[in-house]
Structure 1
Amino acid sequence: MLSAVLLSGCDSSGNPQTGGRPAPQVGYVLVTTSAVPEPVTLGGRTVAFETSEVRPQVAGVIRRRLFTEGSYVRAGQPLFEVDPSLYRAAVNQAEANLASARASAEAAIARAERLKPLAEMEAVAQQEYADAAAQARVARATIAQNNAALETARVNLRFTTVPAPISGHIGRALVTVGGLASTGQESPLAIIQRTDPMYIDMQQSAADLVAMRRKLRDGGLAAGSTAATLKLEDGSDYPLQGTVKFSEVTVNQQTGTVTLRAQFPNPNGLLLPGMFVNAVFTQAIDPNAVLVPQQALRRDFDGSAYVMLVGKDNKAVRRKVNATRTYGSSWVVTSGLKKNEKVITQGLNGLKQGAGIRPVSANTPQDPTRAPGAPRASGAGASKQGN
């Protein structure tokens, strides 16, 4: 009689029963670890790859504007013309001074050459020849000085045409024809921006960056990829992939953040300077992340996550876990589970803590109408599967 009482809670196969009914069959999977990237989403602003201010290098009145506002200009293309009258006159004066210096030098050199043999024969005083030779050297130096002055005058004349310093799209002209340009003025004549490629400047918390680098150093994380994608302000995906270039070594004292910079191609001009975007990239990889199928994870009324495990003596065990993100068709569990534990993925409806169960590997065919220990039915009934 005692043996009959002890066996009354089990079926002929040794599986527990509940209220005289066979224990429900549940499917489980073993907890495994896998290398999972840890994506980071950071907000940022688009910045032109190159920005150049067009500034005059000589003073004068603007005579002409030589470009169309908003157009694409190439490096070296003329943009403005400053009145060249004074600078052309300076070139003419420098040329005349150079011609005069050359004429004087010819006479001084010729005199020195005539006196040299006479001084050797002591027909003239050595001092007289020395003075003539010195005057010839001074004349040569005067030629060099005037030649440099002429070159400076020509450079200033060339500067009366203001060229584009870089290739890119030019904005509106910030000075009108007839306005006075000077080398020390505060505002530029125009601004040119190169927008292909485009930079994305992002801000990341210094604390998060330090924590990530500490895990990389200790081996808890592996280095991720520099490939990045973009989401635009309207929520759409930018079609081209970019690359994270670098992060600054200085923390902003007001915000406590570090600036990271990515580079994206922009051949169609979709990205404009100053746009707000979200950049997504893999900053690190967790080599031992715990993954469970999404159908295995449930939520309490307070939003906390839990899973059901196969416990000792084939009892269901309820376990709280921490899972804040998904990877593919699985949840990434950061705490609460260990490798090789059995997580129930099928037959979860109505399953409670401590309930008797018949665990089988997930997706094992089953016949819910078959009594425990009875032979499996043939035909269509044998193809039925559990939840």
Structure 2
Amino acid sequence: MNMEAGIGSSDYTELDEGNARRRRMIIVASIMALVLVVAGVVALRVFRKPAAPVTDTAPGITVIVPGRHSVTTEIPAVGNISARRDMPVGVAGEGGTVVRVLVEPGDWVKAGQSLAVIDRSVQVQQAASLAASIRQAQADADLARSQLERARKLVSNGFVSKADIEQKEATLDSANARVAVAQAQYKQQQAMIGRLDIRSPTAGLVLTRAVEAGQTVGVQSQALFRVAEGGKMELQAHLSEADLARIHVGSPAFVTPVGTTMKVAGEVWQISPVIDTNTRQGTVRIALPFNKALRPGGFAAAEIGGGVGDVPLLPESAVLSDQKGNYVYLIGPDNRAVRREVKVGDVDDRGVSIISGLTGREQVVASAGAFLNPGDKVKPHLAPSPR
């Protein structure tokens, strides 16, 4: 049987159309696959993050080598004003009732000037009695002398024995001794009367008065007056061991009392020879002339000249501080940050002077130290030091 004879032309036409559809589907699927591949490649190229280059992450830091510079240092201090020589004045004698007070605080007095007077009526009567005793003893001595002289004239005639002469000489000596005793007692009483005047031991300024007329005073009484010798004042301030080593007797100073803008010139006249073991501080005393603004007991600030010295200078940005004090960051040989405690001095347009903690040859972080921690790795860049 002939199979081809059974297939008509319409059957061939249907077969061709089916093949064409399959080819179109394959072509479309291939195109879509190609599009997806291209889109994936583009997406990878667009959204893929480039690999980070391997670099050194240490931050760059500006450092300086400060060296040493000549500066005039001033040491700040605070303290209390007091009289340089504060003289307490009290009762020198037996005391009694005060009848007059002759001065007020703020008065100037001379050495030996009477400040107050104590009642002396009893002592005056005692002195009068002693004066009478002197006259009586003197009369007895005069009589004894006359008798001795008459006896000496009669001894050559034999009317008076040598023993009588010796007795009369002894009587005269005894009478003269009684005169001397009476005179000494009288002078003693006069001295005691003089001590009833409360007198200033020195010329100066009366600071306080603690007595009124009618008050009974004695040797156990507190100081009745306080006198500043010559009106001279001083400021007593406490400084650290390091600051004490920078000053000397004669160093100039300027003192500003609280509540004023005035600067009173003075100079250091005494430096404590000992250091307090608890505070590690010593006392410096600044001599000051009389000034109405300088009141004993008042508070004042001082600037003490520490002389000229060679010290490292740093920009203010290099010096940091926290609860432990001032410090800077140095760069070690391995380019790592190292903390160093320092003590700062004066600040001027050149920078901050470093009193202790640096030699001047170190590499010091000039800025950005606040962002560092000890041990951080950095890349130092050297900059000129302040001048």
Into which bin does the TM-score normalised by the smaller protein fall?
Answer: 0.5 to 0.7
Equivalent of 2:237, from 181, 198, 202?
202
2:91–2:221: 8 Å Cα contact kept in structure 1? no
After superposing the two structures, state which structure 1 stretch, 193-202 or 115-124, moved more. Answer: 115-124
Aligned match of 1:325: 344
Higher-Rg structure is 2
Partner letter of residue 353 of structure 2? Answer: V
Counterpart selection for 2:145 from 106, 109, 113:
109
What does residue range 62-141 of structure 1 map to in structure 2 within 5 Å?
A: 62-68=98-104, 70-119=106-155, 123-141=159-177
Q: Which stretch of the first structure deviates more once superposed, 41-50 or 133-142?
A: 41-50
| Cα shift at 1:354 | 3.4
The count of corresponding residues between Structure 1 and Structure 2 is 314
1:297 aligns with 2:318: yes
Q: Give 3-state SS (helix, strand or coil) of 1:166's partner.
A: coil
2:263 is the alignment partner of 1:238 = yes
Residue 32 of structure 1: aligned partner: 67
The normalised TM-score by structure 2 is 0.62
Q: What is aligned with 2:35?
A: none
Label 1:252 to 1:291 Cα distance change in 2 as closer, same or farther (>3 A): closer
* Cα distance change of structure 1 residues 317 and 225 upon mapping to structure 2, 3 Å threshold: farther
Match of 1:274 among 272, 293, 297: 297
Residues 299-318 of structure 1, C-alpha deviation per residue, up to 9 Å, x if partnerless? 69998534799x9xxxx997
Are 1:262 and 2:285 matched, yes or no? yes
Which amino acid is the alignment partner of residue 169 of structure 2?
A: A
In structure 2, the CA distance between the partners of 1:191 and 1:138, relative to structure 1 (3 Å rule), is same
Mark the CA change 1:134 to 1:284 in structure 2 (over 3 Å): closer, same or farther. same
Tell me whether 1:44 sits opposite 2:79 in the alignment. Answer: yes
Paired with 1:184 and 1:304, the residues of 2 have a C-alpha distance of 58
Residue matched to 2:44: none
Deviation at 1:54, TM superposition (A): 3.5
> 3-state DSSP class of the match of 2:83?
strand
Given the superposition, is the C-alpha separation of residues 268 and 336 from structure 1 closer, same or farther in structure 2, using an over 3 Å criterion?
Answer: closer
For the Cα contact (< 8 Å) 2:311–2:360, is it kept in 1? no
> Are the counterparts in 1 of residues 208 and 227 from structure 2 also a CA contact under 8 Å?
no
CA distance in 2, matches of 1:248, 1:362: 38
Structure 2 unaligned regions, length at least 5: 1-54, 56-61, 368-376
Instruction: State TM-score, norm by structure 1.
Output: 0.62
Residue 153 of structure 1: aligned partner: 189
Per mean C-alpha deviation after superposition, the further-off stretch among 194-203 and 83-92 is 194-203
Superposed displacement of residue 173, structure 1: 4.7
Distance across 2 between alignment mates of 1:97 and 1:224 = 60
User: 1:188-214: CA deviations, max 9, x gaps?
Assistant: 44333447321223334xxx53x788x
Residue 101 of structure 1: CA displacement? 1.2
Give the deviation of 1:140 after TM superposition: 1.4
Which amino acid is the alignment partner of residue 330 of structure 1?
Answer: G
- The SS at the match of 1:157 is helix
Structure 1 unmatched runs, 5+: 1-18, 20-26, 347-351, 364-387
Q: Is the Cα–Cα contact under 8 Å of residues 51 and 191 in structure 1 kept in the other structure? A: yes
The whole-number CA distance in structure 1 between the counterparts of 2:216 and 2:358 is 73
How many Å separate the matches in 2 of 1:362 and 1:85? 83
Kept in 2: contact 1:54–1:165 (CA 8 A): no
Over 3 Å counting, the alpha-carbon distance change for 1:76 and 1:335 in structure 2 is closer
The RMSD of aligned alpha carbons is 4.6
Mapped to 2, the partners of 1:258 and 1:295 lie a distance apart of: 27
**How far is 1:267 from its partner?**
2.5
Deviation at 1:335, TM superposition (A): 4.8
Q: 1:280 to 1:185 in 2, by over 3 A?
A: same
Superposed CA deviations along residues 123-155 of structure 1, whole A, max 9, x for unmatched, are 422211111111111111111111112222322
After superposition, the C-alpha distances for 1:215-261 in whole angstroms (9 at most, x for unaligned) are: x7xxxx89696333334345856332332413144x667x5566524
In the TM superposition, 1:369-384 aligns within 5 A as none
Distance 1:37 1:111, change over 3 A: same
**Alpha-carbon distance in 1 for matches of 2:294, 2:103:** 24
Specify whether residues 343 and 101 from structure 1 end up closer, same or farther in structure 2 by C-alpha distance, changes over 3 A only: closer
1:266 Cα deviation after fit: 3.6
Taking a change above 3 Å as real, the CA distance of residues 326 and 152 of structure 1, as seen in their structure-2 partners, is: closer
Q: CA deviation at 1:171?
A: 5.5
